[in-house]
Structure 1
Amino acid sequence: MNTKVNPVLQPQLEIDNVTISYGDMAVVKNASLTLKAGEIGCLLGPSGCGKTTLLRAIAGFEPLYKGRIRMRGRVLSTDTARVPVEQRNIGMVFQDVALFPHLTIADNIAFGIRHWSKQKQQQRITELLELVGLPDIGQRYPHALSGGQQQRVALARAMAPKPQLLLMDEPFSGLDANLRETLVPEVREILLREKMSALLVTHDQMEAFAIADQIAVMQNHCIQQSGTPFSIYHEPDNRFVADFVGMGEFLHGWVEDAYSVKTALGVLQGRTPHGFAQGAQVEVLIRPDDIQHADDAEYTAIITRKWFRGSHYLYYVTLGSGETLPCITSCHHDHDVGEPIGLRITLDHLVVLPYCDPEQEVCELQPTEVTQAILPNH
């Protein structure tokens, strides 16, 4: 019987229960993540959570204390052995673009493919400069380019040898916000056109949403949750993910039954059991787009803060319970701070989490079952 696995069906990258330690201190704990061929992944989290260390371990710069890293079924690292960096067929792009200042752009891109024939080198250089939208700069030097152009060249240089995986460590953090907003989706399109798997490290959730097919949220050296950007945003597994990813506030509630939670905005009902016991104190995650202004709404609140965002207003409103929640309205609904407005609940996803006492900063135990209750129109 043929037991060989079709390489097309194998995951591009498998991180299996990886722990990385510096002495007695674990800087990555029991991390597991799978990336499909052609997929773009992201390690998202605050500084010091272990995401860059995990990226370095994938590249081969850090040994494993426990676990295994594989690429296309080939074992790259275990706790007893690791394939040398130069034999992994992995490209890297860093925050500091690290272009060679004394080499032309063409020579920078050719650096990793110098063993190719001159004809193939030139063909690849031309192809990549076209791909990154800089077809006529081959003979210029890095100092003559803008920051965004340099980052595109660094990407082209890393992609030149056609690596099986591209690792990117905070590559956009040195750029201004407007440039990041345009460059990040452009890089995604470049990677997709090249059909190249990639893994990005960032602390910026909007970067993660703009580029990634899969996101792993890290905190305290652990992967807290992994999934699509949609599921990470709308169906967070715990309070940290809910709080870190996207804007939102928590509304205090009490469980009425397996599907319902009573709050200051009435009884919110889900489609699936939330896993908390009847009568338990819980919190419901409220995103700005979950509440809409409506003059004829049953519930009212007082505007305490407002921001004009061009296409809409973002209000923070205080309920009679004293709780403050975000609310988005059309740009034509201009109300003043201190003014009461009507609120209508438009939840598509009812996310129920353990109650966290603000005085003691202690959360109730997690439920034993599902903590996401999805409303019928999901």
Structure 2
Amino acid sequence: MDKRLCTTQADRPRNLNKPQAQCFQDFIVCLGEFKTPSTSLDNEATIAQVCQYLANVLKVQNRRKIYGFVTNLTHMTFYCAEKKPYSTSYHYYKSQHLEMFNCLSKTSSSVGTKRKLNKEAWEIFTKFLTMNPGFYQYTTLNINPLDDLRGDRYSISRKLGTGVTSMVYSLVKKQDNYLIDDVENCVIKISKRTTCSESLINELKIIEQLKQSNNQNKFDFFFENVIDSSPAGNFLVFQNELLSIESLTLIQSKQLIDVIQYLYDCRIIHRDLCPPNLMLDKNSQHLKLIDFGYARTYEMNEITKEVPIEGTTIYAGEKFLLFYSRLSLNSLFDPYYAYERTFDLKCALNVIMVMSNCEIRVKMDSINALPEVKQKVLSSLELWKNLEVNNENYSKLLNSINNLTGTTDFDVIKDEVDKLFKH
């Protein structure tokens, strides 16, 4: 995670474990391979190895083009690998060999050989390494050489996840980092594209609003604090690494209702409440809600918020799903929806059903596997309608949510959740 543009095999630590190596691939901008002077750059194995490296990066990063070089310290050759659109084949290009040294002559003592740098070759090499970032066509992460990604203080240990707008990595404090205020472990979330930076900027804004509720203890229980960020929205650094969870207990389900109540009292809607965004704090053993990139704030006395549809769809309530299912093909490209204050609460109920009932989870897995969003919406709408008819406790919970008038009604909903688990 340092600031250099070129990653070479010489730079790369030899003791990387598999998770670290997988993370490393996300940050490769261009490749370089150093060979011994006795290795011929025309060797078929050498050429095949470089081409394989380049092809692997193109595949992992879903990238169109990448540049690289190989040198045996006497000569250097540049490479380019290109993947054609809608094709599985690669095209490779190779330059002529460049002599790195010239004007070779014996010294007067005849002890050794005096070598002189080939100025033209080194100028080409230097220019190759210092081109404008756009030249390399690196698009995996929205970072540039000027970004301070804590590379001098932390190392990447593994990749934690990939979302629509960002990738998340676990960071470990380096052994030579003696700064007392630096935590041993933290998490960095990096945006994928410039257009995704708005999501991270919004997430930071929402988290700051949540911290202003004058209840720091609840904030620490319910959410994860940001300890560093990029002004441009390129990355966020979170204080702790959380654990993913596959199911919800009764206690955790009630904690989720408490989290939604906190958001409700802050007039904030998350809009992307789904199982991957529920994590467990291993220290407090409390459920936490993450990923506020799509969150919005209601104005005082605002009942609905009409904004572009983003975030979760299949865990949403019937009203949203009916609206989405009736959208025409043209309106699907930029649809708006008037999000009601109870949107997150309905999502929370459906998430609880999926994460506490194996039969419902299997059905939801099948829905997630459908190729089209419209198909997923229609299938999930059918699932929740059938559940409302056949599950009395689920139906009562929906009724309580639909009749919610204020924050005091959340206790009633938690009591209904208790009955849901007992039956």
TM-score (norm 2): 0.26
Larger Rg: 2
* Higher strand content, 1 or 2: 1
* Higher helix content, 1 or 2: 2
Q: Which has the higher contact order (CA 8 A, sep 6+)?
A: 1
